[in-house]
Structure 1
Amino acid sequence: MMWLQVWWVWISFGLVLGILEIFLPSFVCLGFGIAAVLTGALIAIGLSVSLPQLFLIYAILSLASWLLLRRFLQLKSGSVKTFDQDIND
C-alpha cells in the first residue's frame, strides 16, 4: 500500500474524478477530486504521515470541498432554473 503515499497517484485519482464529473454531474465526484488533488499536493510538499492519517486528511478535505461546492454552486432550495429565451431565436 505504499503506492497510496505517492503524490502523483493522488493527483491522477483527482483528475480521473474530475473527468468523471463531466459524465455524472453532481458535486460529489468533483469534491472528492479536489480533495485528492489537495492531498497529492500536501504529499508533494513533504507531508509524511501514516496511511490512516492520510485517509483522515483526505476525508476531511473531501467533506470541506463538497460543502464549499454545495454552498457556492447549488441553486437555492425550492428554485428551479428556467430559461426565458430560446438559443435559436
Structure 2
Amino acid sequence: MDPLWGNGWIWMAGGVVLGIIEVIAPGFFFLGFAIGALLTGLLLLIGLTPGLPVLLLVFALLSLIAWGLVRRLAGKREGQVKIWDRDINDNP
C-alpha cells in the first residue's frame, strides 16, 4: 500500500482540516467526513492495514454513519421552520 494512504496521521490531519472547514462553513456537512477521517486514522494507528479500496470503503461507511448520527442529534428539529402569517408591510 502507498505509505501516504496507510499513514494514520495523514487521515487524522485531514479530519482536523475538515473540522476547521466545518467551523468556517457550518451546516453539519463536513463534520461527518471529519469524524470518518479521524476514525479511519485511528483504525490505521491501532494496526489495521487494508488495501486502498478497502480503506476508502471504511472511510465512506464511517463517514456515512457519523453524518447520520450528527444529523439525528443536531439536525433540523420538528417545528423549527418559521411560518410567516403576517407581512412586515401590513399595518397593525
> What TM-score comes out, normalization by structure 2 length?
0.82
Aligned residues: 81
Q: Secondary structure in 2 aligned to 1:79? A: coil
Runs of 4+ in 1 over 4 A off after TM superposition: none
Any stretches of 5+ residues in structure 1 without a counterpart? Answer: 82-89
Q: Secondary structure in 2 aligned to 1:27? A: coil
Deviations 1:16-61 (A, max 9, x none): 0001111110111111000000000000000010000000000000
Q: Secondary structure in 1 aligned to 2:47? A: coil
Could you tell me which residue of structure 2 aligns to residue 43 of structure 1? Answer: 44
Cα distance in 2 for partners of 1:6, 1:12 equals: 10
Q: Once the 2 structures are TM-superposed, how far is the Cα of residue 76 of structure 1 from its aligned partner?
A: 1.6
**Greater CA radius of gyration, 1 or 2?**
2
Q: Secondary structure in 2 aligned to 1:16? A: helix
Q: Secondary structure in 1 aligned to 2:40? A: helix
Where does 1:1-89 land on structure 2 (aligned, <5 Å)?
A: 1-80=2-81
> What TM-score comes out, normalization by structure 1 length?
0.85
Q: What is the Cα-based RMSD across aligned positions, in Å?
A: 1.4
Q: Once the 2 structures are TM-superposed, how far is the Cα of residue 77 of structure 1 from its aligned partner?
A: 4.2
Q: Which has a greater percent of helix?
A: 1
Any stretches of 5+ residues in structure 2 without a counterpart? Answer: 83-92
